[in-house]
Amino acid sequence: MDRRRLILRLLFPTAIIVLLAWTPAHADDVGANKSELIRRLLATIVNISVRKYEVASSVSTSNDAGGTTPAADAGRTIKSYAGSGFVIDPSGLIMTNYHVVEDAFEITVMLSDGALLPGKMSSASRLADVAIVKVVTDHPLTAAHWGNSDSLQVGDQVFAAGNPFGLGLSVSAGIVSALNRDIQDSPYDDFIQTDAAINHGNSGGPLFDMQGNVVGVNSAIFSPSRGSAGVGFAIPSSTARFVFEQLRSYGWVRPGWIGVKIQRVTREIAAGMGLPHPDGSIVSWVLPEGPGKKAGLAIGDVILRCDGRTPTDDRALLRNIAHTPAGTTMTLSVLRDGSELSVPVTVEAWPRDQWDVRDAPTPVFRPKVQSPPDLGLSLSELDTEAKANSGLGNDLSGVLVKSVAAYSDPALRGMASGDVILRVQDKPVAAPDDVLAGITAARTRRRDFVLMLVLPKVRDVPGPKWIALRLGSAGD
């Protein structure tokens, strides 16, 4: 089986804790320390729910919660997903994975106290799979603290927190299973592998060290099924923090660039070059007028060290270059024709137009949502046959939904042909004019939403449900 097929993106978070006591302690003391550490950190973790348009060929589709979502038109459906995130700035900046909020037309953030806030993706890096979501609050939020992922060692205890399978905030514990994992997600891969339980919905949640610092962002799992197999991956905090600071400062990653293409020296390449060991990264292309060309780098050069340090592999070298600020001169130790040379290279910022091609967020499909007087609902009276089909008793009245305009707010909120409207606000309705009167009355009162008690045609559970429909000026 293709290994890449087993790497699964997560749309749900998780985490818990194991505390390592370096001095003798009673079991009760260790448990209390763990509980206190978790309690302090829970305020920094958020659940993220999103809604996205997805191309589909059927009228309805199963969503991750096990229900169905009516199609907004013949070619698109609206699906809901759940993910995780954590507060990284008290002003209301939330970090999560880009794939959690990618293509989302609606983002809702639930804080640890249960407050629901609308979110907006302020900036993102598609390549790094990092996004910053902004929420507006009337008070500063409790922010998590960055840890040093570079100091992690295999065997260190860690714990993850998030929203696995949309169940709500959960915590799980484990150890660092491996470092610098390449899951072929990008040329810069440097994932932390952990056996802390990570499942769908954990995406974007934090991986903490035992001091409560964020050392990673949970992002993917390796599994033959949809569940955790004990092989989870997190973006190291060193990468996540760099991306966050760049996005906050510039709106894009603005990586360092020297205008060369490199690849790892394999045993075969080393043998072909007559080298005794497969060390370093070989230059396979040098862009004309780029910093590398100006510094004298040439095709076939083997880069052994960067500023005196030996990168672990070609991915580490690329990360070193990307994290180097523009204008900084780095010294590359280069093997050429059997001799080692020192080549000073002045790093430049990656040309923005070229970087955006590979890294800028994809445009979100945002149709113009109409808000006519009827909110895009085509209605009719509920005749005897329709009432019988709906399961309503003879003593109840309602109004039949004949159709719902594509991309209207009722369509976005799941209303569909065959639904029955029983009440608008606190008043029962028996005719289409009653529904329109209720909408008009809510608008007159300058309400942002109008409540409708709706009996869905397709019901996961018996009975009607309240739906809040967004109001706007007629003709918006």
Q: Is domain 377-470 annotated with CATH 3.30.590.20?
A: no
| Mean of pLDDT over the chain | 86
Q: Does 171 score more than 70 pLDDT? A: yes
CA dihedral for 264, 265, 266, 269, sign (positive or negative): positive
Which amino acid, residue 18? V
- The bridge status of strand 104-110 relative to strand 157-162 is unpaired
The widest CA-to-CA distance across the chain, in whole angstroms, is: 95
| Residue 469: exposure state from Cβ atoms within 10 A (0-12, 13-18, ≥19) | buried
Residue of 84, 149, 203, 408 marked active site = 203
Contact 92, 29 (CB under 8 A): no
292 token code pair: 């590398």
- Classify domain 1-251 at the CATH topology level: Thrombin, subunit H (2.40.10)
In sequence order, which residues have a C-beta less than 8 Å from that of residue 329 and are 6 or more positions away? 344, 345, 346, 347
Evaluate if residue 337 carries a pLDDT over 80: yes
Task: Determine contact, residues 131/123, Cβ cutoff 8 Å.
Answer: yes
Mean pLDDT computed over 83-89? 96
Of 123, 129, 195, 200, which one is the catalytic site residue? 129
The answer to whether 283 touches 306, Cβ cutoff 8 Å, is no
Q: What pLDDT is stored for residue 56 in this prediction?
A: 60
pLDDT above 70 (res 248):
yes
What is the model's pLDDT at position 228?
77
Q: Using the predicted structure, report yes or no on whether residue 283 has a pLDDT greater than 70.
A: yes
Task: Reduce the DSSP state of residue 166 to 3 states and report it.
Answer: helix
Considering 196-200, 263-267, 389-393, the range whose residues carry the highest mean pLDDT is: 263-267
357 burial (CB, 10 Å; 0-12 / 13-18 / 19+) is exposed
Domain residue ranges in the chain: 1-251, 256-349, 377-470
How are beta strands 329-336 and 339-346 bridged, if at all?
antiparallel
From residue 292, alpha-carbon distances to 244, 297, 309, 332, 342 in Å are 27, 5, 19, 10, 13
Alpha carbon of 1 to those of 4, 6, 7, 73, 186: distances in Å?
A: 9, 8, 12, 36, 21
Q: Is 112 a known active-site residue?
A: no
Q: Which of 204, 9, 211, 235 is nearest to 88 (CA)?
A: 204
Question: What is the CB neighbour count within 10 angstroms for residue 58?
Answer: 10
Residue 363 DSSP one-character state: P
Structure confidence at residue 58 as a pLDDT band (50, 70, 90) = very low
Residue 248 in tokens: 């906050």
Average pLDDT estimate for 98-112: 94
- Residue 301 is predicted with a pLDDT of 96
**Side chain identity at residue 275, one-letter code:** L
pLDDT category, 32, cuts 50, 70, 90? low
Helices (H), 159-236: none
* Predicted pLDDT of residue 247: 95
Query: How many of the other CB atoms lie within 10 Å of CB of 85?
Result: 33
- Tokens at 464, concatenated: 């009607």
* Res 364 pLDDT > 90: no
Q: 22 versus 239: which is more confidently predicted? A: 239
User: Average pLDDT for residues 341-346, to the nearest whole number?
Assistant: 96
Which of the following is catalytic: 49, 80, 84, 99? Answer: 99
pLDDT, average across residues 96-120: 94
Q: Mean of the pLDDT values across residues 64-71?
A: 40
Q: What is the pLDDT of residue 225?
A: 74
Q: Which two tokens stand for residue 235?
A: 């973006």
Instruction: With H, G, I as helix, E, B as strand and everything else as coil, classify residue 156.
Output: coil
Most confident of 14-18, 94-98, 389-393: 94-98
Query: So what's the pLDDT on residue 59?
Result: 40
Q: How far apart are CA 259 and CA 223, in angstroms?
A: 37
Nearest to 351 by CA among 266, 412, 290: 290
Cα dihedral sign, 389-393-399-405: negative
Sheet hosting strand 302-306, strand order edge to edge: 260-264, 281-286, 302-306, 329-336, 339-346
Region 409-436: mean pLDDT is 92
Residues in CB range of 138: below 8 A, 6 or more apart: none
Calculate mean pLDDT across residues 98-109.
95
Over residues 155-174, the mean pLDDT reads 91
Among 343, 352, 235, 351, CA closest to 294 = 343
Please report the pLDDT score of residue 326 as a whole number.
Answer: 95
HSE toward the beta carbon, residue 319, CA cutoff 13 A: 21
Q: What is the pLDDT of residue 9?
A: 62
User: Quick one: which H or E segment has residue 232?
Assistant: strand 232-236
Distance (Å, whole) CA 363 – CA 360: 9
Query: Per-residue pLDDT for 91 more than 80?
Result: yes
Which two three-digit tokens encode residue 459? 């019901």
Q: Residue 314 catalytic?
A: no
Residue at 159: amino acid letter: F
**Phi/psi of residue 212, each to 5°?**
85, 15
- In the predicted model, what is the mean pLDDT of residues 134-150? 96
- Is 281 annotated as catalytic? no
Contact criterion met (CB below 8 Å) for 295 and 346: yes
What pLDDT is attached to residue 331? Answer: 97
**b/e per residue, 359-378, with b = 16+ CB within 10 A?**
bbbeeeeeeebbbeebbbbe
Q: What is the band of 458 on the pLDDT scale with cuts at 50, 70, 90?
A: confident
Residue 63 has pLDDT above 80, yes or no: no
**What is the rounded average pLDDT of the residues 148-158?**
96
Residues 206-226 have pLDDT tens digits of 999 999 999 999 998 887 777
pLDDT greater than 50 at residue 3: no
129 vs 216: CA distance, rounded Å = 12
Residue 458 tokens, joined: 């397709």
- Tens-place pLDDT, residues 291-328: 999 999 999 999 999 999 999 999 999 999 999 999 99
Is it true that 1-251 and 377-470 share their CATH fold?
no
| Confidence label for 176 from pLDDT (cuts 50, 70 and 90) | very high
- Tokens found for residue 227: 């569940």
The arithmetic mean of pLDDT across residues 412-419, rounded, is 90
What CATH number should be reported for the domain whose range is 256-349? 2.30.42.10
pLDDT-wise least confident of 85-99, 190-204, 230-244, 362-376: 362-376
